Structure 1
Amino acid sequence: MQLPSQQVAVLEAASADEATSVDALAAATDLPPETVTGAVFELEDEGLVAVSERVDETVTLTDEGVEYAGDALPEVRLYEAALAAGADEESTQMGQVIGTSGLEGPQVDIALSNYARKGYGTIDSGEITADPDADPAADAEADALAALADAGETPVDAVDIDSDTVDQLERRGLVDRHESTVRDVTLTERAVTELMAGIETSETVGEVTPELLTSGEWEDVEFADYNVEADAERFDGGKVHILRQTAERVKDTLVGMGFQEMDGPHVDADFWINDCLFMPQDHPARTHWDRFALENPTHIDDLPPDLVDRVERAHKEGVGPDGEGYHSPWDEDFARALALRGHTTSLSTRYLSGEEVGDLEPPQRYFSVEKVYRNDTLDPTHLLEFFQIEGWVMAEDLSVRDLMGTFEEFYSQFGIEDIQFKPHYNPYTEPSFELFGTHPTTGELVEIGNSGIFREEMLEPLGVECDVMAWGLALERLLMLMYGFEDIRDIHGTLCDLELLRETEVTY
């Protein structure tokens, strides 16, 4: 009997008494595992080997998991710092506790998002408490990290860790879980008989080369069979993130509705972010608890002096014969303070004032789909940074009916037909209302945006003499309605579910 050399090598390395894995055969024959797998399938077709399959699942710590195994989980470090600050007796300033914990960058977000989930305490309005009865030594995730740090890559069923804990660690990116198909090979009686009789090695060619073609030798050689069932290494190619894909779709939709795109700085003066919106300087949203100020540089150099005067007058005295203003202090130095924009309405004020593209004559339509930054408490619908769909229309005699109709037209492009409206208060719009959509999985109403007609106190200092209707919509909330996501941390951020992103089908 004649067989290709790789098949002969596999037969000679295999056993009739006990099963041998493909990896073991590859090591014994010095052949690549994929070559051995192909040979095994061919031998199975010839009735020379029996093949059995099983799925092995292993887990191993990621680099981040190794770090936390040796350094403690961020939420445990936050809890220990909270105890040291006396938060088990009364609520303490969260910023103070974070500062003493030594947590930095993404670790702060991770600690905050897991602190209450594990029952270590509460976080509310910038205050933190610590439950004195909480026991970090009984933290299942911390124990699992310690066990895996000692074991290295190991089968899941070889460690005493429950599946829910492994799932949570995988979602947090602290462990990698691998599933692999293991094939075990056993010689058949026929193979034993043929080996005893003697098997000769035949010369086969595995690929067609230019030399074979030009020399004509391809006509005389024996080609190896090509096995389309042989294992191949999996490669997960890169793809555009689903959030970016939806952002581009939103842009296409708004351009199709006649809008032009705005652009502008992520870091801007409080003047453009809030003062031009007729937002009083003592408004709670303008404190350090809600905004991210810059340490260096701290202030903008140039602001239009005439516009600054008009905005200051609107804040202090109001606009028009019946205007009241806020009768509260207004500080130009505060207006010059730099911060990460809390909404992209800062772009709208720049464009409406004529600073970006010159004076605009109605009708005009502008939009942006850009990131904004807020010091919010992390939860399934809030992140510290997210995408806002900003838009406004400048025209004569606009009404709330025009605004509602715009939303109905926009959301219908995404298959969302059940928008609901609720009256609301904004310092810069009157009338104002919030938008809600029904979550396709939970059936709950989800707030998806805020809108209204810009007030005269905002428009008059900017030099706008007609109506402007405007809105700020949440891109991530749109994804929740489109795809049924219940937690926006699954689609971006430190807890992002990569497998979910790979498998979610983009709909157009």
Structure 2
Amino acid sequence: MKRPQTQVAVLQAADAQEDRRIDEVADEADCKPEAATRAAFELEADGLLTVTEETVSHYELTEEGERYVRESLPEQDLYAAATDAGAKEGPVQMGQVIGASGLEGAAVDIALSNYARKAYGEIDSGEITANPDADPGADPEMLALEAVADGRVDDADADALDQLERRGLVDVREETVRSVRLTDDGVTALMEGVEVAETVDQLTPELLTSGEWEDVEFTEYNVEADAEDVRHGKEHILRQTANRVKDTLVGMGFQEMEGPHADAQFWINDCLFMPQDHPARTHWDQFALERPDEIRDLPEDLVERVRSAHREGVGPDGEGYHSPWTEDVARGMDLRGHTTSLSMRYLSGHQVGDLEPPQRYFSVEKVYRNDTLDPTHLLEFFQIEGWVMAEDLSVRDLMGTFTEFYEQFGITDIEFKPHYNPYTEPSFELFGTHPETGEIVEVGNSGIFRDEVLTPLGVECDVMAWGLSLERLLMLMYGFEDIRDVHGTLCDLELLRETEVMH
């Protein structure tokens, strides 16, 4: 029997009594693993070898995971502080416990989101309790972290390992390991003798012109053999959907807005007729900048008109808020909590000059809020901002725009509920039905801007506006139940790789 050289070498390196890994066989056969794999599949097709596969997971601690192994998990620190504060006997103030725990920044949100999940206690209305029966010392996730650190992954709880991967505390690399074993026919072939055949794997001009191609033996190719799994990069599903949203809105006649992520409270809140003592303007809801802590330039005439709207109101029947309003607060720099700051810049003429109706503008940009992490809330997410400036707009125009927009994504069950906003009247929220759970999911907020917003900006016609969540749109399109699966430190990479993009 004659065989190509690589096949002969693989046959001779294989064993009839046990499986041998293909990389070991390749080393002994003095060839590359991919060449040995190809030869093994060709031999399997002829019944001389069997090829088996198994997926092996390799776990490695991330930098954050290594820190927790040295110290402790944030939720363990929170439980210890809550216990010291007497939370086992009854509720105590959460602020007091967080301060005593030493947790800061993102660690606070991590601790809070995992505290209740692990039944360490309950968090409600700013108070926290500690479950007397909880045992943080036996936390399965901490034990799994230690097992990974010590190379004892087989001893770790599988569910805990999955959770650690979701939290970004371990990186998991999966490897497909192939092994080969001689069949009875393979043993017989070796006993009878297998010779190396002179083969070529490429038809060259020289072979054609010389006529030698008639006398050589060409290497056989198995077109059904598995190719190496290459995990190449691809565009994130969130970005793909954002681009699709942009294309849809451009197709509906809208132009795209641009503007800063960090902006003055004046553009973020004051122009929207949100009083300066509104709870949503505190550090509990927004992220303030330390450097720079205020904006340099604001249009003085617009600042005065906005101040007047807040203090005295607009028009003969205007009331205003009669609450404190200072330019110092308006100049404070924050990360924008909504992209309506862009709308204020454009409608005022500050960004691209004065606009004459009709006009349609949109943006699909990131915003930042100091929310508690849960399946529908993140600290940063994408908002689909949009507005239409025209004469005699009505709520029916707004509802019709949403109906047309969401139908482009296969969503036809949008519902509306009246709502209150400081900056729009009338206002309403939008809801859709989750395709997997059947639950009603809020997807956005909208309304027609009040005179107290438009008059200081110098706009003399109607403007209808909205802010929609891109992540919630994905939930309705793909059935995601937790937006943390899509992006962030807990995202599910396998889910993103395997999800088929909808068009």
TM-score (norm. length: structure 1): 0.90
**What corresponds to 1:436 in structure 2?**
431
1:271: how far off? 0.8
* Displacement of 1:424: 0.9
Residues 57-136 of structure 1: pairs in structure 2 closer than 5 A: 57-64=56-63, 65-83=65-83, 90-94=91-95, 97=98, 101=102, 105=106, 107-123=107-123, 129-136=129-136
* Partners of 1:74 and 1:103 within 8 A in 2: no
Of 264, 285, 289, which aligns to 1:290?
285
Of 396-405 and 9-18, the range deviating more from structure 2 = 9-18
CA spacing shift, 1:78–1:61, aligned 2, 3 Å: farther
- Letter of the structure 1 residue corresponding to residue 324 of structure 2: P
> SS where residue 354 of structure 2 aligns?
coil
Matched-pair contact (CA < 8 Å) for 1:170–1:177: no
2:182 maps to which of 183, 186, 193: 186
Structure 1 residues 311 and 120: CA distance shift in structure 2, 3 A: same
Aligned to 1:363: 358
Deviation at 1:163, TM superposition (A): 3.5
How far apart are 1:283 and its partner, in Å? 0.6
- Name the aligned partner's letter for residue 102 of structure 2: S
Identity %: 70
Aligned with 2:485 (options 475, 485, 490): 490
Deviation readout 1:49-94 (Å, 9 max, x if unpaired):
3415252443422434444334433333443455566665653454
In structure 1, distance between residues paired with 2:237 and 2:375: 18
Per-residue displacement from partner, 1:5-64 (whole Å, max 9, x unpaired)? 2232223333334443433322332322222233333334444x3415252443422434
Q: Take 1:101 and 1:220, find their aligned partners in 2: how far apart are those partners?
A: 80
Give the CA deviation at 1:208: 4.6
Distance in 1, Cα, partners of 2:201 & 2:99: 62
Q: CA RMSD in A?
A: 2.7
CA distance in 2, matches of 1:448, 1:126: 26
Q: Deviations over 1:269-288 (max 9, x none)?
A: 11111111111111100111
Q: How many angstroms apart in 1 are the aligned matches of 2:489 and 2:442?
A: 24
Cα 1:201–1:385 shift into 2, 3 Å: same
| Partner Cα separation in structure 1 for residue 45 and residue 243 of structure 2 | 51
Q: Unaligned 5+ residue runs, structure 2?
A: none
Long gaps (5+) in structure 1: none
Separation (CA, whole Å) in 1 of partners of 2:364 and 2:481: 22
The Cα shift of 1:480 comes to 1.1
- Residue by residue, what CA displacement relative to the aligned partner does 1:324-363 show, whole Å, maximum 9, x if unpaired? 1111111110110000111111111111111111122222
Count of aligned residue pairs for this structure pair? 500
3-state SS of 2:435 partner: coil
Indicate if the aligned counterparts of 2:358 and 2:389 stay in contact, CA closer than 8 A. Answer: yes
* Distance (Å, rounded) in 1 between the aligned partners of 2:111 and 2:434: 28
State the match for 2:497 in structure 1: 502
| One-letter code aligned to 2:350 | E
| Native 8 Å contact 2:348 2:458 kept in 1 | yes
Q: Which moved more, 1:21-30 or 1:469-478?
A: 21-30
Q: Secondary structure at the match of 2:150?
A: helix
Conserved? CA contact 1:450–1:472, under 8 Å:
yes
Distance in 2, Cα, partners of 1:185 & 1:369: 56
Q: Which residue of 2 aligns with 1:384?
A: 379
Matches within 5 A, 1:263-412: 263-412=258-407
Distance 1:134 1:25, change over 3 A: same
**CA distance in structure 2 between the aligned counterparts of 1:116 and 1:457, rounded to whole angstroms:** 43
Q: Secondary structure at the match of 1:113?
A: helix
SS in 2 for 1:151: coil
The answer to whether structure 1 residue 473 and structure 2 residue 468 are counterparts is yes
**How far did residue 449 of structure 1 move?**
1.0
1:450 counterpart = 2:451: no
Question: 1:191 and 1:239 mapped to 2: Cα distance?
Answer: 43
